[in-house]
Amino acid sequence: MYYSRVFYSNAKTSWRASYTPDIVYANRPGKDLKLQLLSPVPPALPMPPRKTYMTVLQEQGRVPRPAAPAQPAPDKAPRFPLIVSVPGSGWAGAEGTRHVPAMVQLAEAGFVVASISYRGVYQDDAPFPAVVQDVKEAIRYLKANADIYHIDTDRIALLGDSSGGQTVVFASLCGDGPEYSIGANLDQTADVNACVAFYAPVDPEYLVQDRIAEHKDLRFGEDPYPFELHELFQETYGDEPEKYLQSAGCSRLIPTAKNLPPFLFIQGDDDIWIPMAQDERFCDNIRAAGGRAEMIKIAGGGHGLGCWTPEVYDQIIRFLKAYL
C-alpha cells in the first residue's frame, strides 16, 4: 500500500484541556477571589469546599448548600506542573477569565493553568503589593489542594503580561514575608520554580528615563514620575513618590532574594509603553547574581499585539519543560 505522507502522533505529549470555572481561592472583605482552572485531566475537576461570604445565607436556608466535599485523586492519578497566570490590568484589578483563551495551548501541552482574579487600585482601593498577596495566596491554595487538582507541587511557574508581568517577577523574588502573606494556607510556601513575563515594567522607577532613551512618547502627566506611579499606588504615595516607585522595583529584590528562579521575558520592539531596557536591565542583573534569564524580542510586536505567536508558545513550553 502506498502512503503519500506519514505523520507522527502526539498522543504522548498532547492533552485535551478541561475547564473548571470560578474556583474561590481567597476571601477578601466584600468579595471572593476566584481562579479559572485549565487542566490536562478530563473531565472537569471537582471543587473542594471553602468558606465564603455565602455561608450565612446558606445557614439561613436562603441559598442551596454546596455539594459534598470532593475526594482527593487516587495516588495513581497523573500529576502535572502548575502555571499560575496573572492577566495585566494596569494594577487596576482583573478577572482570570481574560487569560483563559491564551492559556488553552499550555494546558494542552501538559500543564495545569490557573488564571486568577486579583484586587487592584481602582476596583478595590487596594494598592500594590495587594496583587502580590493575592498571587501568593493562590499558589498556597493550589498547593494545599494539589491532590484534587492533580498538581505536582515541586513544579510551579508564574506567567503574566504587562502589569501582570511585573507582578509575577516581583512575586518570584520577594519571598514569604508578612507583608506579602495574608489569608489562608500559611503553612504552605509560595516559592516558584520558573517565571515567564510578557512586556513587563519590572522597574517603574526607571520608566521615564527609559522611554526618553528609546524615543517613546511619555504617557499622560509624566515627568519626572511615570504614569505607572498612579496605577500602582493611586495617591497613597503622598510626598514620597521615589520611595514608593522603588518599593515596586524588581531588580532591587535580587540581592536579598532567597530564591532565584529562571526567567523568560517576551517583549515586542514596537511596544508603545514598555521600553526594551526594562527587561534587558533586569536580565543583566539576574545573570550578574548567578541566576538564569532569557529574553525573546518580537520584531514588530506591540503591547499585547503580535507577541502571542505559535513560535512564542513553543518557546514558552520548551522553557517551562526545561526548568519544571
**Cα separation, 177 vs 154, whole angstroms:** 20
Quick one: the chain helix, strand, coil %, rounded to 5? 35, 20, 50
Which tens digits make up the pLDDT trace of 4-49?
676 666 666 778 889 999 999 999 998 999 999 999 975 456 666 6
- Contact at 8 Å (CB) between 112 and 151? yes
What are the cell numbers at 148?
A: 484534587
Cell of 121: 487600585
Residue 3: pLDDT above 60?
no
Asked if residue 143 lies in contact with residue 72, where contact means CB atoms within 8 angstroms, the answer is no
Domains present along the chain, CATH in parentheses: 18-67+78-323 (3.40.50.1820)
Peptide bond into 224 cis (omega under 30): yes
| Separation of alpha carbons 170 and 163, rounded Å | 11
Phi first, then psi: give them for residue 113, nearest 5 degrees: -120, 125
- The three cell numbers of residue 261 are 528562579
The amino acid that residue 289 corresponds to is A
pLDDT more than 70, % of the chain: 86
- Nearest CA-CA partner of 180 in 114, 243, 253: 253
Please give the sequence-ordered ranges of beta strands (E in DSSP) within 87-164, or none if there are none: 112-116, 151-161
Phi, psi (rounded to 5 degrees) for 108: -65, -20
DSSP state, 281?
H
Contacts with 167 (C-beta within 8 Å, 6 or more apart), sequence order:
86, 91, 131, 132, 135, 160
Rounded distance between C-alpha atoms, residue 188 and residue 137, angstroms: 9
Instruction: Please state, rounded to an integer, the average pLDDT across all residues of the chain.
Output: 89
Q: Which of 58-67, 195-204, 216-225 has the lowest mean pLDDT?
A: 58-67
> In terms of DSSP bridges, do strands 80-86 and 151-161 run parallel, antiparallel, or are they unpaired?
parallel
Quick: pLDDT tens for 71-115. Answer: 555 556 789 999 999 999 999 999 999 899 999 999 999 999 999
CA distance 9 to 20: 27
pLDDT band for 122, please (50, 70, 90 cuts): confident
- Cα–Cα distance, 198 to 217 (Å, whole number): 20
Q: Give every CB contact of residue 84 below 8 A, 6+ residues apart in sequence.
A: 114, 116, 135, 138, 139, 142, 156, 157, 158, 159, 168, 192
Q: If you average pLDDT over residues 184-198, what whole number do you get?
A: 97
Confidence of residue 117 (pLDDT cuts 50, 70, 90): very high
Closest CA to 160 of 307, 284, 18, 259: 307
> Comparing C-alpha atoms, which of 290, 313, 286, 250 is closest to residue 104?
313
Dihedral angle sign, alpha carbons of residues 313, 315, 317, 320: negative
